[in-house]
Amino acid sequence: MSAAAERAGRRPTIKAVATAAGVSTAAVSQAFNHKGRLSEATRRRILDAAADLGWSPSAPAAALRHARTRTLALVVRRPTDVLGADPHFSELITGIEGELAPRGYGLLLHLVTGMREENALYERLAAEGRVDGAVLTDARDDDARPALLARLGLPAVLLGSPDGRAVVPRVGLGDQGAGVAEAVTHLLDLGHRRIAYIAGPPELQHTRLRRGAFEKALRAAGLRPFAVLHTDFSERMAVGATEALLAAPGRPTALVYANDSMAVCGIGTVQRAGHHVPRDVSVVGYDNLPLGSWLHPRLTTVDQRVQQVGAAAARLLLGLCGEEVEDLPLTGRPKLVVRESTGPAPN
């Protein structure tokens, strides 16, 4: 950074750069945006002056002019007391941010506790022109957000299985049923017959999808679920559901959880109850979070490449915002990762 930059107590403006380079502010703008017609020499001189002053175009000013902020929103809705900050979102954020950063976009992160609050937030973000678009997670069966954002004129991408009558584009999470079905088949192959499912909140779309796939896979084998319990993803309910299942007459030999966080709680609860995983009870998760492979036993889970999904969503959304971005195709479907938390059924 040069002496000039040091002297400028305040942030330099385009005017300072123009003066330093001996041109008009318009020329500076053109030099940066490859518009207009400037001689290569002038362009260089301007760029040098700008670099010397440490100047970059003011984001707010540019946003005002273009009505585009180069910022996208991610609102994480999380009922109070839900499993910490679900690591699932960390993965998702990593995937999203990886696509935004190289394109100069920023990610505005908000945490809310309820649907009503989430909708109000979108209203405000849109009204204030704070973001160019939003990534919507946890699709519900009757989700008001797509219509809301459409009305607000805010591009959006919804994470969930593709859907014909979608108001906003979706990034599929793949055929989630396939992953669950694969898990069930795996358990059946191991001899399990009493298999229970610990699901998420019933209003979430993926809950229904995965639960349906679970039941269907069992039916195909001429079996019925030992039980299907819904939770709100909280530790309390994950533990409670697990304890209830372990105490049930004819205790299940395998537990399938709707996500890895609950599965981890589940393993702990099973062990605490004095059972061995997987000798007495097998456990399967969903998401393939890094966490799962730290444990002993390592968690058998369904890999849905959350990071890649986040990246795909980000690219799609960037495209909707007018950026020249090629879609990131989501190759393959969720796939079972067999590790150590599943084993032959007892007896």
Partner DNA sequence: AACGATTGGTTAATCGATGTACCTCGTGAG
Partner DNA sequence: CTCACGAGGTACATCGATTAACCAATCGTT
Interface with a second copy includes 291 (CB under 8 A)? yes
Q: Which stretch binds DNA (CB under 7 A): 22-30, 133-141, 238-246, 309-317?
A: 22-30
Residue 276 CA, chain-centre distance (Å), reads 33
Binding site partner of 35, from a second copy, DNA, none, Cβ cut-off 5-8 A by kind = DNA
From the list a second copy, DNA, none, partner contacted by residue 276 (C-beta under 5 to 8 A by kind):
none
Starting at the edge strand found earlier in the chain, the sheet holding 254-257 runs: 227-230, 195-199, 254-257, 282-284
The answer to the question of residue 110 lying near a second copy (CB under 8 A) is yes
Pick the binder of DNA from 3, 6, 9, 41 (CB under 7 A).
41
DSSP codes of every residue in 268-317: HHHHHTT--TTTT-EEE-SB--GGGGTSSSPPBEEE--HHHHHHHHHHHH
Q: Which range of residues in 62-70, 110-118, 163-171, 323-331 is near DNA by CB under 7 A? A: 62-70
Q: How many residues belong to the site for DNA (CB under 7 A)?
A: 31
Q: How far apart are CA 153 and CA 127, in angstroms?
A: 10
Q: Which stretch binds a second copy (CB under 8 A): 104-112, 183-191, 223-231, 330-338?
A: 104-112
Q: Taking CA 114 as the corner, what is the angle to CA 108 and CA 63, rounded to the nearest 5 degrees?
A: 25
Ordered DSSP codes for 185-247: HHHHHTT---EEEEE--TTBHHHHHHHHHHHHHHHHTT---SEEEE--SBHHHHHHHHHHHHH
Which of residues 2, 11, 220, 224 is near a second copy by CB under 8 A?
A: 11
Site residues for a second copy, 131-170, by CB under 8 A, read 151, 153
61 interacts with DNA by CB under 7 A: yes
Q: What are phi and psi of 39, to 5 degrees?
A: -70, 150
State the amino acid at position 163 in one-letter form: D
State yes or no: residue 5 binds DNA (CB under 7 A).
no
Which of 28, 126, 168, 314 lies at the binding interface for a second copy (CB under 8 A)? 126
Q: Which residues of this chain interact with DNA, rule CB under 7 A?
A: 11, 13-15, 22-30, 32-33, 35-39, 41-42, 55, 57-58, 61-62, 64-67
